[in-house]
């Protein structure tokens, strides 16, 4: 497994992965308060690099429904443009605020990710820059230390859903970076020559470095 590394968000537990190790199947639970509620399985970290909030985000009204019958879990669903969040009646105001923020962030991210057909995009970029096509490409929530990853043996590419709100030319760069890994495993000069076929590679790298706090230069 090779991938684009990024600095873990502040407060996150550094994960012991390397470019060659598969990520853990299960993400650790978020460090935030409410222990009684059940987060959905692919739980994104609650402390992400500042990326999600931008004026281009889809509008979302929120309606909180308190239920005495509901004992411990929070849930959310989209009804038209309204996000209905169901919480147990006993939950504190602080916990409600946490869950409203968390569910809003998850749904916004999903709505932003849905605008892009990744398979179509990857096929287009592979054709344009003469790179291999992936067997599969998909968004993944909860990727904490990198923007994308690639498993050359299976041709599978995964992109962090934290990228979804970024400009298309940045997402295209990450796709090109991972497509290049299908041919060149490491970050060798040959690899960077492949990536350099994408004209905005340097600008996109600068953008990603800025988004991860300016410390990581591995992409
Ligand atoms: Zn890489």
State residue 96 phi and psi, 5-degree precision. -60, -45
- Ligand 1 centre and the CA of 150: distance in Å? 8
Q: How far is the CA of 194 from the centre of ligand 1 (A)?
A: 12
* Residue 218 pLDDT level (bands cut at 50, 70, 90): low
pLDDT-based confidence at residue 44 (cuts at 50, 70, 90): very low
* Consecutive H or E run containing 209: helix 201-211
The structure tokens listed for 45 are 């970290």
Terminal-to-terminal C-alpha distance of the chain: 15
Q: Which of 5-14, 37-46, 47-56, 64-73 has the highest mean pLDDT?
A: 64-73
Contact 51, 213 (CB under 8 A): no
DSSP 204: H
d(CA 54, CA 27): 26
Give me the helices (H) in 87-198, please. 93-113, 118-128, 168-181, 189-195
- Return residues with CB closer than 5 A to ligand 1 (ion): 4
Q: How far apart are CA 15 and CA 145, in angstroms?
A: 8
For residue 156, how far is its CA from the centre of ligand 1 (angstroms)? 14
- Ligand 1 centroid from CA 120, angstroms: 21
- The pLDDT tens digits of the residues spanning 9-22 come to 444 433 333 233 33
Q: How far is the CA of 85 from the centre of ligand 1 (A)?
A: 38
d(CA 75, CA 77): 7
The phi and psi torsions of 146 (rounded to 5 degrees) equal: -155, 165
Q: Is a pLDDT exceeding 60 seen at residue 123?
A: yes
- Model pLDDT, residue 2: 60
Give the lowest-confidence range in 56-60, 65-69, 162-166. 56-60
């Amino acid at each position: 497994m090779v991938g684009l590394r990024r600095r873990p968000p502040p407060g996150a537990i550094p994960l012991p992965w390397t470019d060659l190790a598969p990520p853990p199947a299960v993400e650790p639970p978020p460090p935030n308060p409410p222990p009684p509620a059940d987060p959905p399985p692919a739980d994104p970290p609650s402390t992400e690099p500042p990326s999600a909030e931008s004026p281009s985000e889809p509008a979302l009204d929120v309606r909180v429904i308190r239920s005495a019958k509901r004992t411990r879990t929070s849930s959310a669903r989209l009804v038209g443009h309204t996000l209905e969040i169901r919480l147990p009646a006993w939950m504190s105001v602080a916990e409600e605020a946490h869950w409203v923020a968390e569910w809003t962030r998850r749904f916004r991210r999903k709505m932003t990710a849905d605008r892009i057909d990744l398979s179509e995009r990857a096929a287009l970029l592979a054709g344009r820059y003469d790179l291999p096509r992936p067997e599969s490409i998909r968004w993944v929530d909860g990727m904490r230390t990198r923007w994308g990853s690639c498993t050359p043996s299976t041709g599978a590419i995964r992109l962090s859903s934290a990228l979804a709100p970024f400009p298309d030319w940045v997402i295209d760069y990450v796709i090109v970076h991972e497509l290049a890994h299908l041919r060149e495993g490491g970050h060798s000069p040959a690899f960077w020559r492949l990536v350099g076929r994408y004209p905005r590679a340097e600008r996109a790298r600068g953008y990603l470095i800025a988004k991860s706090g300016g410390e990581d230069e591995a992409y």
